Amino acid sequence: MLMRFSQEAKETEVTLHDDDPDAVEAIIRHLYNFKLEPPPCEESHKEVRFYCNVVVASDKYALPGLAEEAALHLTSKLVNVEAPADVIVLLRIIVEEYGDYESLQICALGQLKSRLKELASAPDLMVLVTLQPQLFEQIVGDAVRFRDLQRINRYSCHFCHKVILDTGTANPMCCRNKTGLQGFAYLTKES
């Protein structure tokens, strides 16, 4: 709180040394119910940094709604980048420069997981996962969970349309009628 006798109270300007000016402007615009928009720029990395800075500043000033909105815009931005090498460059910005912010890490990891097959062709993917071991652990963890999935039969009742998973017997009964094989389902094995 500014005291009326303090230096800041006498000045008409307060300097926020640690905050990105565009992010502070976004916060002020948010407080006045304006839409979150990045400053005009042609380069994807500047827009990604803007959204990351808004998340950081929103976290600092306790504005979780704005932080969530900025993370959604960031995700949308990443989804619309097509070249795998460009996606890797943007993901490196997020994980290396903003590694302390969980919501940004979740955003980067989500993009990496959902586009892994596509991003595997980018030579910098290996650099990214070696520099960020937590990403590598998450990817390997998902692969291990997928490998442990057990394939079972899935049946559907012709009368009530109830879906029944394999009970160990061929063609389980439902509504006193035999069911038809519908396909396969995957369950995790119990340890």
Domain boundaries along the sequence of the chain: 16-147, 149-188
pLDDT at residue 147, as a whole number: 60
Please list the helix, strand and coil fractions of the chain in percent, rounded to the nearest 5, in that order: 55, 15, 35
Radius of gyration of the chain (CA): 25
pLDDT at residue 162, as a whole number: 72
Residues 6+ apart with CB under 8 A from 131: 92, 96
Tell me the pLDDT of the chain (191 aa) as tens digits.
445 555 555 666 667 678 899 999 999 999 999 999 999 988 889 999 999 999 999 999 999 999 999 999 999 999 999 999 999 999 999 988 998 888 898 898 888 888 888 888 888 888 888 888 777 787 777 766 666 556 666 767 766 767 766 656 566 666 666 555 555 554 444 43
With tokens 């006193």, the residue in question is 176
Q: Which of 107, 20, 19 is nearest to 70 (CA)?
A: 107
pLDDT at residue 130, as a whole number: 80
Token pair recorded at residue 146? 């997928």
pLDDT at residue 56, as a whole number: 95
pLDDT at residue 190, as a whole number: 43
